[in-house]
Chains A and B, each alone.
Chain A
Amino acid sequence: MKTYKVKVYPENIEVIAKEGENLLELIRKSNIPINSVCGGEGVCGKCKVIVKSGKIDTESTTHLGRSEIQKGYVLACLVNISSDLEIEIPLESRLEEGQILLGNEKLYSKVSDFVRTESLEKKSIFKLFPLTIKLFLNLPYPSIKDNKSDLERIYREIRRYYDFPIMQTGLSVIKQIGNLLREADWKVTVTLGMRNKTTEVIQLEKGDTSCNNFGVCVDIGTTTVVAELVNLNNGEILGVKGSYNKQISYGSDVISRIVYATEKKGLDDLRNAIAENINALINSLAIESNIKLNDITSIVCAGNTTMTHLLLGIDPGYIRKEPYIPTVSFVPVIRAAEVGIKINPRGLLATLPSVASYVGGDIVGGVLASGIAESEDLSILIDMGTNGEIVLGNKDWLCSSACSAGPAFEGSGIKCGMRARNGAIEATSIDKNFEVKYSVIGNTKPHGICGSGLIDLLGELLKSKVIDRRGRINDNLSTDRIRDNRGCKEFVVVWGKDTDTGDDIVITEDDITNLIRAKAAIFAGTLIMLKKLDIPIDEVKHYYIAGAFGSHLDIEKAIFFGLLPDLPRNRFKFIGNSSLTGARQYLLSEEARDKCESIAKKMTSFELSVEPGYMEEYISALFLPHTDLELFPSVK
């Protein structure tokens, strides 16, 4: 078969393509980061590349403007290679790589016996008992009288500290024991892994290495992935990093990824993508804290059901098909290496249990972290991820549901949206002359707007009447911040002279529509759930908002925008990335693990998509704050 050379700038990499090979697939295969929301269907228009030289055969598309076509822009997914090419991947088509994702600082308090992040009445404390522990053993020498085998001797010594009923050791470790014990003069450190109710001797090291025991917890979101490095000896958080989920190149939502995994046989691609994501985050965390990968002995991942299936390489196809049944909800603890995660080769991987196809381990982690399952009071937890999850309940019962909110709050699909990291605008205010004041995470020049900043901004835009209740920009105002950009109205938040790239930071009417859709999905879901359970909204005593979209959320503006119901303000609490907090608690405490399991078993779920009133509620929530203004007395 004929082959062609494709040169990719600015990487300056040359790759060989087969005749007729799809350009987007070639770029992905070559590990060059490129954006694609639809997964190569030609419908999202995100995979724009510029052809510098070479002949191109491509379909026409509405995603490219006239000036772009003149400059040689094409959609990579619509190009089948039929000559040598030189292409450039422009900035807007790139996926940004791992950068620090800041979170709620309160979540990262450095305490030895770690405290629940947000507890209801009193601070509840889980006892530190990590998934893997290191224990230094000074074993008594064997003698004719004390003639137990080496392994039994180790077990006996361990039982002096811990009451483990069942212990086991793999053959490869057993094979090392004889020599290692004697070379170390019977002074060794064992790493013990909690594999459900069995304790495994994972490895044996000479001397006392018990101070070097670390773990990683990861929140695998559909859009963002965040990892924390934790000292397992005291629960201290050593670092946190985040990035966009690399699977985005294969589709922006769970459904398009399931389709990619099943119909396009891309399960391996997706599993590799997330494993690489996690490995990159772990690597940079380890380098920063100056620790060895070998000393990371366990990892806990919390993600929605599809993300968990994809991480484990399990076919997620049945999640999408009626009656929406996942392959597994409670995954046993396995070795991390089995899915390609690079920590200690015998290190363990645990995933938080899920409830249903669309209610995953991330929300179970959120329930654990928020503590709503221990309170007498009725509480609501809303996780504003790409798949918005809602949990309602108290210590006796929990009911959950999921609604597809889309990635808008995570800054994806928004022109100047970004993740919550340095350079993100997180709060704004607009005065009567439409001048904007803003605050930026890290106090740097702004680069874009993160989720909490977007919610904040929309509240301000509505208050200052820049937008109407349908989210349309009012172009009759006397300010040059409102302008028309090729048929789409936009509001300039920060002028180019004050931004880090020199480009204006804007919010467009399309962005606003996306955000309104996202909030409507969540609000409608909440109302339907309360209606279904016949609970007046006023009876909800605590309202927890979770999400990896910012470090603070202005509750007043979120109510004004119609994202949250009009309840007394002291009932609301923004708890940041609760999925990550839940994963950390799972990593650090046996009690938390038991609790987590009971939460997952106790929680019921129902499908909003088949709920007849949902669409109706959704339409009435596509308004600011809501079509039914009676629901928002304090906003009127």
Chain B
Amino acid sequence: MSVELLKEKWVGKINEVTIGATKDEGGSRVKTITIGGENTLPFMHFEGEMSRTPKIAMEIWDMKPPDWPVSLISPFEDVISSPAKWAKKCVETYKAEILFLRLQSAHPDFGNASGETVANTVKSVLEEVGVPLIIYGCGNPEKDNEILPKCTHIAKGENCLFGKATQDNYKTLTASCLADGHSIIAEAPIDVNIQKQVNILITEMGFPINKIVMDPTTGCLGYGLEYTYSVMERIRLAALGGDKILAQPFICLVGQEVWKVKEVKASSNEFPKWGDENKRGPAWEIVTCASLLLAGADLLVVRHPETMEIVKKNVEMLMKK
């Protein structure tokens, strides 16, 4: 007698979000990427459709990151002083399909660069590479409100993904993304309700819900990853259960969480038993990515080229039906 598998039937479907615009679409990208669109839990191919492969973005900065360990700096040593060259290396050497540009130099503690300066950086990166771009502020809310509108403006038509909108600071970025036709990252710290509230607040300003990407990232492996995991799972279950306000893809800023912890940064001289830091760092990033993929991540932002390579393979395997 054959056994029939019991299949979950979901009513909801995650909206698709496209990042980048080609010439025909009013931009200058060679290719665009689309994330989301699944109507089942991650990789449950027998239950539903997961038509879009989760994507991996590489993170670059508009300045030399002062606190990255040598093991992370070394792959980019030759290009790190120029964001455009850094971008080019990621695309050409490491085959990145999408880039994540962090405008850290605008932060008052990191150089306090002006809106014009960072907007020019955005422009130079857009001119140098043809992949879609995620553009992320410096993390200081006042400063971000000053610089990001200039960046959305200079990137008008390119359909970038801009971050971040939070419950306390969403109006300026939402308004400028709306005006210049970009998508937006809505960040909420491990809370289903707050995520929903941020999404509502953004859409209340007339912003289309299907241009929001949600960022639930709060910690990497060993630093509360399980909380992020379960919140993502709950958001996704709600979305598949029919909650339209939560039916948006996830972006996870893995690199940002991984490369600040001691277990990743410390050298093998300090802790000989921990092993080679050149392997340890990427491994930490890879395991965090693998977990978040299973929780529903649609777009991962990583820092190390090796992570990029291995996670890509991991995704390919998971996507096999």
Among B168-201, those with CB < 8 Å from A are 168, 171, 191-194, 196-197, 200-201
A629 touches B200 (CB 8 A): yes
A468 CB within 8 Å of chain B: yes
From residue A356, how far is it (CB to closest CB) to chain B in Å? 29
Contact (Cβ within 8 A) A469 B193: no
Give the residues in chain B near A468, CB-CB below 8 Å.
201, 204
The listed residue (A472, A474, A627) touching B196 by CB distance below 8 A is A627
Choose one: A474, A476, A616, A623; the contact of B197 (CB below 8 Å): A623
Chain B residue numbers with a CB within 8 Å of A616 are: 192-193
Q: Is A470 a contact of B193 with CB atoms below 8 Å?
A: no
Q: Does B32 contact A (CB under 8 A)?
A: no
Of the candidates A472, A474, A627, the one whose C-beta lies within 8 Å of that of B193 is A627
B194 / chain A contacts, CB cutoff of 8 Å? 619
Q: Given A476-B171, A627-B196, are A469 and B191 also a contact pair (CB < 8 Å)?
A: no
Q: Are B193 and A619 in contact (CB under 8 A)?
A: yes
Question: A470 and B201 in contact (CB under 8 A), knowing A619-B194, A627-B193, A627-B196?
Answer: yes
Interface residues of A in 452-478 (CB under 8 A from B): 468-470, 472, 474, 476
A9-24 toward B: CB 8 Å interface, digit per residue (1/0)?
0000000000000000
- The residues of A that contact B34 with a CB separation of less than 8 Å are none
A620 at the interface (CB under 8 A from B): yes
Please tell me if the beta carbons of A623 and B200 are within 8 angstroms of each other in the complex: yes
Chain B residue nearest to A618 in the complex (CB):
B193
Instruction: Judge whether A469 and B197 touch: CB under 8 Å.
Output: yes
Using known A-B contacts A470-B167, A476-B171, A619-B191, determine if residue A627 contacts B204 with beta carbons closer than 8 Å.
no
Q: How far is the CA of A540 from the CA of B168 in the complex (A)?
A: 36
For B205, give the chain A residue with the smallest CB separation: A468
Roughly how many angstroms separate A347 CA and B168 CA in the complex, as a whole number? 58
Most buried by A among B196, B200, B201: B200
Nearest B residue to A630 via CB reads B243
Check A469–B201 contact: CB distance below 8 A.
yes
Contact of B171 with A470 in the complex, beta carbons under 8 Å: no
CA distance A476 to B171 in the complex (A): 10
Among B193, B194, B245, max chain A CB count under 10 A is at B193
Q: Is the CB of A469 within 8 A of B200?
A: yes
Are A469 and B204 neighbours in the complex by a CB distance under 8 Å? yes
A562 to chain B, nearest CB (A): 12
Interface residues of B in 241-260 (CB under 8 A from A): 245
Query: Most A CB atoms within 10 A — which of B168, B191, B197, B204?
Result: B197
> B200 and A627: CB pair below 8 A?
yes
Residues of B within 8 A of A474 (CB): 171
How far is A476 from B201 in the complex, measured between Cα atoms in Å?
15
CB within 8 Å of B: which A600-636 residues: 616, 619-620, 622-623, 627-629
- Decide: A620 near B171, CB < 8 A? Known: A468-B204, A469-B204, A627-B200: no
A496-543 interface with B by 8 A CB criterion: none
Query: Which residue on B lies nearest to A621, using beta carbons?
Result: B193
Question: Measured between alpha carbons, how far is A629 from B245 in the docked complex, in Å?
Answer: 10
Task: Please name all residues of chain B whose beta carbon is closer than 8 Å to the beta carbon of A628 when the two chains form the complex.
Answer: 196
Which residues of chain A in 429-463 are interfacial with respect to chain B, using CB atoms and an 8 Å cutoff?
none
- Distance from B229 Cβ to chain A, minimum over Cβ atoms (Å): 18
User: Does B201 contact A620, Cβ atoms closer than 8 Å?
Assistant: no
CA distance A628 to B193 in the complex (A): 9
User: How far does the alpha carbon of A372 sit from the alpha carbon of B200 in the complex, in Å?
Assistant: 38
A415 to B168, CA, bound (A): 22
* Least Cβ–Cβ distance between A251 and chain B, in angstroms: 30
Q: Which residues of B lie under 8 Å from residue A619 when comparing CB positions?
A: 191, 193-194
Measured between beta carbons, the chain A residues less than 8 angstroms from B193 are: 616, 619-620, 622-623, 627
Name which residue of chain B comes closest to A623, CB basis: B197
Interchain nearest-CB distance for B292 vs A (Å) = 23
Which of chain A's residues have a CB closer than 8 A to the CB of B167?
Answer: 470
Which residues of B sit under 8 angstroms from A476, Cβ to Cβ?
171
Q: Which residues of A contact B197 (CB under 8 A)?
A: 469-470, 622-623, 627
For B194, the closest partner residue in chain A by CB is: A619
B272: min CB distance to chain A, Å: 44
Q: In whole angstroms, how far apart are the Cα atoms of A627 and B198 in the complex?
A: 10
B216 to chain A, nearest CB (A): 15
- Residues A384-423 near B (CB distance < 8 A): none
Residues of A within 8 A of B204 (CB): 468-469
Minimum CB distance partner of A616 in chain B = B193
Complexed CA–CA distance, A17 and B194 (Å): 52
CB distance from A476 to the nearest CB of B (A): 7
A620 to B246, CA, bound (A): 14
Q: Give A422 to B205 CA distance when docked, in angstroms.
A: 40
Residues on the B chain within 8 Å of A622, using CB = 193, 197
Closest to A475 in B: B171
Return the chain B residue nearest A617 by Cβ: B193
A342 to B192, CA, bound (A): 55
Query: Quick one: closest A residue to B169, CB to CB?
Result: A472
For the complex, what is the distance from the CA of A221 to the CA of B171, rounded to whole Å?
Answer: 41
Q: How far is the CA of A311 from the CA of B204 in the complex (A)?
A: 50
Per the 8 Å Cβ criterion, residues 474-488 of A in contact with B are 474, 476
Q: Which residues of A contact B191 (CB under 8 A)?
A: 619
- With a cutoff of 8 Å between Cβ atoms, the chain A residues found around residue B192 in the complex are 616
A472–B168 CA distance with the chains assembled, in angstroms: 8
Q: Could you tell me which residues of chain B, from 200 to 227, have a CB within 8 Å of some CB in chain A? A: 200-201, 204
User: Closest CB-CB distance, B87 to chain A, in whole Å?
Assistant: 35
What is the CB-to-nearest-CB distance from A513 to chain B, in angstroms, rounded to a whole number? Answer: 12
Distance between Cα atoms of A620 and B199 in the complex (Å): 13
Contacts of A620 on B, CB cut-off 8 Å? 193, 196
Contacts of B171 in A (CB 8 A): 474, 476
Minimum CB–CB distance for B302 against chain A, Å:
31
A residues in contact with B201, CB < 8 Å: 468-470
Looking at the assembled complex, report how far the CB atom of A278 sits from the nearest CB atom of chain B, in whole angstroms: 43
A629 to B200, CA, bound (A): 9
CB distance from B187 to the nearest CB of A (A): 15
A474 to B193, CA, bound (A): 22
Which residues of B sit under 8 angstroms from A623, Cβ to Cβ? 193, 197, 200
B199, closest chain A residue (CB): A627
Complex Cα distance, B243 from A620, in Å, reads: 14
| Bound CA span A474–B167, Å | 14
A307 nearest CB across to chain B (Å):
34
Q: Give Cα A628 to B200, complex, Å.
A: 10
CB distance from B73 to the nearest CB of A (A): 39
With the chains together, A628 CA to B168 CA distance in Å?
Answer: 19
- Chain B CB count within 10 A is highest, among A470, A472, A476, A629, for A470
Residues of A within 8 A of B196 (CB): 620, 627-628
State how many angstroms separate the Cβ of A573 from the closest Cβ of chain B: 31
A619 to B193, CA, bound (A): 6
In the bound complex, CA of A628 to CA of B196 (Å): 8
Which residues of chain A are within 8 angstroms of B168 by Cβ–Cβ distance?
472
* Nearest-Cβ distance from residue B82 to partner chain A, whole angstroms: 38
A470 nearest CB across to chain B (Å): 6
Q: Nearest Cβ distance between residue B185 and chain A, in whole angstroms?
A: 18
Q: How far apart are the CA atoms of A629 and B192 in the complex, in Å? A: 14
Cα(A620)–Cα(B193), bound, Å: 5
Chain A residues whose C-beta falls within 8 Å of the C-beta of B200 in the assembled complex: 469, 623, 627, 629
Give per-residue flags for A265-303: 1 if the beta carbon is below 8 A from chain B beta carbons, else 0: 000000000000000000000000000000000000000
Task: Kindly state the separation between the CA atoms of A474 and B172 in the bound complex, as whole angstroms.
Answer: 11
B235 CB to nearest A CB, Å: 12
Q: How far is the CA of A586 from the CA of B192 in the complex (A)?
A: 47
Shortest Cβ distance from A629 into chain B, in angstroms?
7
7 pairs from A and B in contact (CB 8 Å cutoff): A469-B197, A470-B167, A619-B193, A620-B196, A623-B193, A623-B200, A627-B197
Chain B interface (Cβ < 8 Å from any Cβ of A):
167-168, 171, 191-194, 196-197, 200-201, 204, 245
Can you list the 4 inter-chain pairs with the closest CB atoms, starting with the nearest? A620-B193, A619-B193, A627-B193, A627-B196
Additional pairs, 20, CB under 8 Å, beyond known A469-B204, A474-B171, A623-B193: A468-B201, A468-B204, A469-B197, A469-B200, A470-B167, A470-B197, A470-B201, A472-B168, A476-B171, A616-B192, A616-B193, A619-B193, A619-B194, A622-B193, A623-B197, A623-B200, A627-B196, A627-B200, A628-B196, A629-B200
